[in-house]
A and B are shown apart, each in its own frame.
Chain A
Amino acid sequence: MENKKKFYFDVKWLFIIAIVGFLLVFQVFPLVYLLIRAFFAEGSFSLDAFTRIYSTSMNWSCVLNTLITASLSMVFGVLIAFPLAFLVGRTNLYGRKLFRTLFLMTYMVPPYVGAMAWLRLLNPKVGTLNVFLESIFGLSEAPFDIYSIGGLVWVLTTFYYPYAFITLSRAMENMDPSLEEASRISGASPVKMLFTVTLPLMLPSIASSALLVFVAAASCYGIPSIIGAPAKIYTITTRIVDYVYVGSAEGLTDATVLAVFLMVLALVILFISNFVIGKRDYITISGKSVRPNTVDLGKWRIPLTILTGLFAVVVIVIPFASVFATSFTVNMGKSVFEEGNFTIKYWETIFSRNSIVKSAGNSLISSVWAASLGMIVCIIMAYLLKRTNVRGRSIPDFLITVGSGTPSVVIALSLIMTMSGRFGINIYNTIWIMVIAYMIKYMLMGMRSVVSALSRVSPSLEEAAQVSGAGWLRRLKDVVFPLIGPSVVAGWFLIFMPCFYELTMSNMLYSDKTKSLGVDLFLYQTYHSQQTAAALAGAILILVAVLNIVLSKLTKGKFSI
Chain B
Amino acid sequence: MAEKVSTEKTMSARDAIMAHVRKGLGVRGDEPGRRGVVQTRLRNPVANLIPERAKGTKPELVKQFQTMLENGGTGVVRVRTYKGVPDAVATALRERNLPSRVRLGSDPFFRTFEAEPGLLEILGGAAEATDLVGLSHAFAGASETGTLFLASGPDNPSTLNFLPEHHFVLIDASDVFGSYEECWVKLRGVLGAGVMPRTVNLISGASRTADIEQTIVKGAHGPKSLAVFIVGSARE
Specify whether A and B are partners: no
